[in-house]
Structure 1
């Protein structure tokens, strides 16, 4: 079994975000399956390996580099082209292509489908993000009517909907890191999440959207957008409500109705089972074994399946049009 090196630009300060926490969670789970370590490549950190130092070693065939930081993938893939590399894909929509020599592990089925089309000759797997067991309904009295985190929220949510709701109920807007997020979710009746506008501006997709699922697990009623990876598990009308639906007044009406009902969603644990640690470790074991088999094969065999380059797609298009022309011509004889 090769050792996994999870490449990250850094693990603190300006790099702190949901994607970093999700990647570090995956790293911790991978340590239960094989040897794994974190390697930084932008800033040196005490007690952590640094990529440029590692690349000075003579033989790195016994390791697999796991790259994940979207905006750095193209450069990292080029830099590490002679090594064993896996792309752990969170968001979709970045303007780069990957060779068939780089397998892809997608965190959502939405991202899985994106790369299944964009990189059809690559080995590809689905590995959902973890929802830890601390996210559960504690059945406490909920003293917050509406909870929203400002980061990634739409302008509509912050400047229209929230002010309207503040006139009618108790709203808490979170603007900084929360130490006890499960505790906060257990205090809230309704959680609002609207990231479609944010990701449209970034020109990439919502990779998974952990917080709406974490809120659901804690017994919140969730009003959310269903863009990107959110569509993996959100089912408006059945386990959540679609936010920004037609008018501000309609949103307010539905949210107040849910608050007045004071009913927590009755969701089966099956919704979360795919994202719990036991399932993820089982999937990781299979994925790591297959990756090792693939990199063994790669040493002996070059890729020989035609890729979907622009040039090949143009040739296929011309061939298809010519085929249709021939068919019509001979039918007319």
Structure 2
């Protein structure tokens, strides 16, 4: 089975679409850690044969909960990847965010060297429009240096850099062959020394990143981040936008003005000249709703997965983390897997 792990806070409508697209895109079973009470999402996922939802409250985190959203994501991915180590039905585990959809060519994945411990999904980022008529089906791929120079010369970029071209990450997302001595992180796989594991690459392995494809989604995302306790700090050229958003969240503004200013920030700093990029031939067309796929995850494997997560609830999570993991993590995982 190909599995995914996510720490999630979103609307039921967005989650329904996200689950459907990922199952069609190649994921067989999704582990979803609910980042706070979400009754409508819980009701949606309850009993879903291809989703395991975990209420990730303070009881689950055992002392890690207050360290911020990124820390919670890292812990949940690491716990899941280590727990699945050695389970014969767990072929790969990928970390996905709530705005990401895997597009996995199973033939390409199966053709990887058996010694490959990690694999990379290359990012395709949805184009950004202030008021799109529908969900995007055009995506930006990483561009060559020469392509970036042309885009810059035409006024779409301040400098020829994929980091500036993309609103979100360019590093892609990782998958791991689960084993106790490896921990899946947000973007990378790490060993017990905290070193990054080399990621294999192949065509047909992508992640569709719906990073703020509209002004409304930009507003929703940042409002959710601010309410989650996550830092809005960003590096590089995005720092100015993040600082403005941080200040807007603190000013005594009514909601209508705050949303209006966020829309203006989006239009000025995030929206793409889609017509220009399409005419240059640097966009990829992908309709995430067009793919149909029969998902066949083993009920017995799902039962074992849920039992493992239940057994792990009272266990201190610090020892599972990618860096500073307990040296006896293999023994702990073996005890949790006992009898399965």
| Fold-level similarity (TM above 0.5) | no
TM-score (norm 1): 0.31
Of the two, which has the highest radius of gyration? 1
TM-score (norm 2): 0.30
